Chains A and B, each alone.
Chain A
Amino acid sequence: MSNIVIKERDIVIPGEVLAEGMDYLPGDNTYREQDKIYSKVVGLVSISGRVVKITPLSGPYVPKVGDKIIGKVIDITFSGWRVDTGTAYSAMLNVKEATTRFIKKEENLSEIIAIGEYVVAKIVNVTSQNLIDLTMREPGLYNIAGGRIIKINSQKVPRVIGKQGSMIQLIKENTGCEITVGQNGLVWLKGTPEGELLAEKAIHLIEEKAHTEGLTERMQKFLTEQKSKVNN
C-alpha cells in the first residue's frame, strides 16, 4: 500500500513525510528512509509520475552545467582566471576557454581580463567537490564594461526572467536598459542612470513579491507609474 501524504505545490519543511510505501521514488531534495520519503529543505512539492521532488524556496545557488552566470575575476593563474561565483566555491576560466582568438604564450593575461572585472560565462563542468569550469567561447558570453551589478536571491532568478523571458523583456522595454541575469543571482544592468535605477527597483520588487500571482501585470503597472512620475 502506497499513498502520497502531501499535495502538489504544498509547502513542506525539512523532515516532513512526503509519501509512504515503495511505489514512489525520491527526487531532488528528498530522501528515503525505510518505506517513507522525507523532505530535506523548505520548498514546494512537485510530483511527476512516481517521482516526488521539492523545488527549494531558499538556499544557496547550486552550480549546474550549462548555466550562464556572472562572476568577478579575483585572481590570475598560469592557466587562466579564478572567478568568484557568489557562492562558497570559486570557478576556473581556462586561457583557451576565454576568447575565440589564439592567445600567445607570453601574452599578459590581465590585458585580456583584469582582476576585478566581471564576466558573463557558462558553466561547462562541475565536480563532486564543487570545482567549477567556465567557458566564454560561445555567443552571448563576454566581459562586462560599464553599467552596474546587483545581487538577488538565486532562487528568484526564474521569476525575474519570466516565462520565455517575458518579465525581463518588459523591464528592458520600459527602462531602455541592457539586462543580463546570471543564474547565480548576479544581474548586470546598463543604460541611462535613471533607467538603471528604475530597473534596479523593479528587479528588487520582483524578488520581494516573487510568489504572488499576476506578477507581470503588477510590474507593468509599477513601471508605467514610475515612468510617468519621472516625466512630470
Chain B
Amino acid sequence: MVYKKRLDGRAIDELRPMEAKAGVIPNAAGSAYFKIGKTMCYAAVYGPRELFPKFLQNPEKGLLRCHYSMMPFSGSGERIRPGNNRRAQEISMVMTSALEPVVDLTAFPNAVVDIFVDLPQTDAGTRCAAISAAAIALADAGIPMKDMISSVAVGQVDGLVVADLMYDEEAYEGIVSDIPVAVMHNTKEITLLQMDGEISKADLMKALELAAQVTEKVYEVQKKALKEKFTSD
C-alpha cells in the first residue's frame, strides 16, 4: 500500500474547511467557536478573577489555566466518560504551555484566567483546534497578548508528508505519524510540538516547514473571526 492520494482528495497542504466565530458565549469574558472539518470546539475564557486556593497566588504574575474536555457524545459511537482523565489532563497542560508564551501574565498578578474548552464532536486534531479556539477566546476577552497562536497537526502517512490529518488518516494501515504544532504568528516560534508514530529526520523537517506554512491559514481564519465580531455590532 502506498499513500499517493489523500483519502478525502485534499492536496497535501490543504486543511479541512475551517469556521470560526468569536463571542459565542455571552456569560464568559471571552469565547470562541472553532471548527476544522468534523472537529468542533468551543472555548470560554473567565477572568482575570481571584485565585483560590491562596497558596497558588503569585504576586509577580498571574496564572493561566486550561481545562480541556471532550463531551460524552463527541466520539464516533462509544460514550466518552465525562470528567477529567489522564489524556485530558495532559492536553490541558500542553495547551497551557502553548498559550503562556504569548499571554502577558504580569498584567494580572495574584489572579487567574481560566480557559474552558469543550469539544462536541471530534475527528482528530482536537488539541490543535482547542489551542486555536482558546487563542481567539483570549483575545476576545481582552487579555493582553503579544501575538496570536495558531495550531494545526502535520504528519506523515505511509511516506507522504501531509497537513491536518483526519482520524481515518491517523488510523491508516502503515507507518503514520501525527505531529501537532502550535506556532506564533510573527516570530514563527513553535510553542507546541508533540509526536505520535514514526518519521524520518528529513520528513520531520519537511513537516515542520509545512506546519509554518499552513498555520498561516488558521491565523487568517482567527483574525477574520475576531474582526467580524467587533465590526458587526
Q: Give A contacts to B, CB under 8 Å.
A: 11, 13-15, 17, 29, 31, 38, 40-42, 56-60, 87-90, 128-130, 155, 208-212
Name the B residues within 8 Å of A88 (CB-CB).
47-51, 108, 110-112
Contact B146 A129 (CB under 8 A): no
Q: How far is the CB of B188 from chain A (nearest CB, A)?
A: 12
Contact A208 B142 (CB under 8 A): no
Q: Give B contacts to A, CB under 8 Å.
A: 29-30, 47-51, 59, 102, 104, 108-112, 139-148, 184-186, 222-223, 226-227, 230-231, 233
Residue with the greatest number of chain A CB neighbours at <10 A, chosen from B51, B110, B147, B231: B147
Contact B226 A13 (CB under 8 A): yes
Q: Nearest residue in A to B143 (C-beta to C-beta)?
A: A59
Q: How far is the CB of B183 from chain A (nearest CB, A)?
A: 12
Q: A14-B144, A58-B140, A88-B51 are in contact. List 12 more A-B contacts (CB 8 A).
A: A13-B139, A13-B148, A14-B147, A14-B148, A41-B144, A42-B226, A60-B29, A89-B110, A128-B109, A129-B59, A129-B109, A209-B233
Q: How far is it, in angstroms, between the C-alpha of A58 and the C-alpha of B141 when the chains are bound?
A: 6
Name the B residues within 8 Å of A87 (CB-CB).
48
Contact B223 A13 (CB under 8 A): yes
Q: How far is the CB of A220 from chain B (nearest CB, A)?
A: 20
Q: How far is the CB of A42 from chain B (nearest CB, A)?
A: 5
Q: How far is it, in angstroms, between the C-alpha of A57 and the C-alpha of B147 when the chains are bound?
A: 17
Contact B233 A41 (CB under 8 A): no
Q: How far is it, in angstroms, between the C-alpha of A78 and the C-alpha of B110 when the chains are bound?
A: 23
Q: How far is it, in angstroms, between the C-alpha of A195 and the C-alpha of B108 when the chains are bound?
A: 38
Q: Nearest residue in A to B142 (C-beta to C-beta)?
A: A59
Q: Nearest residue in A to B145 (C-beta to C-beta)?
A: A14
Name the B residues within 8 Å of A56 (CB-CB).
142
Q: How far is it, in angstroms, between the C-alpha of A31 and the C-alpha of B224 when the chains are bound?
A: 22
Q: How far is the CB of B165 from chain A (nearest CB, A)?
A: 27
Q: How far is it, in angstroms, between the C-alpha of A42 and the C-alpha of B228 when the chains are bound?
A: 12
Name the contact of B140 in the complex, choosing from A15, A42, A130, A209 (C-beta under 8 A). Answer: A42
Name the contact of B146 in the complex, choosing from A38, A42, A211, A212 (C-beta under 8 A). Answer: A38
Q: How far is it, in angstroms, between the C-alpha of A51 and the C-alpha of B2 when the chains are bound?
A: 58
Q: How far is it, in angstroms, between the C-alpha of A88 and the C-alpha of B139 when the chains are bound?
A: 18
Contact B48 A58 (CB under 8 A): no
Contact B230 A14 (CB under 8 A): no
Q: How far is it, in angstroms, between the C-alpha of A15 and the C-alpha of B49 when the chains are bound?
A: 24
Q: How far is the CB of A40 from chain B (nearest CB, A)?
A: 5
Q: How far is it, in angstroms, between the C-alpha of A90 and the C-alpha of B50 when the chains are bound?
A: 9
Name the A residues within 8 Å of B233 (CB-CB).
208-212
Q: How far is it, in angstroms, between the C-alpha of A15 and the C-alpha of B29 when the chains are bound?
A: 20
Q: How far is the CB of B23 from chain A (nearest CB, A)?
A: 8
Contact B144 A40 (CB under 8 A): yes
Name the contact of A14 in the complex, choosing from B49, B59, B146, B227 (C-beta under 8 A). Answer: B146
* Known A-B contacts A57-B230, A89-B111; A40 and B141 likewise in contact (beta carbons under 8 Å): no
Q: Nearest residue in A to B147 (C-beta to C-beta)?
A: A15
Name the B residues within 8 Å of A209 (CB-CB).
233
Q: Nearest residue in A to B109 (C-beta to C-beta)?
A: A129
* Known A-B contacts A42-B142, A60-B48, A87-B48; A15 and B110 likewise in contact (beta carbons under 8 Å): no
Residue with the greatest number of chain B CB neighbours at <10 A, chosen from A13, A56, A57: A13
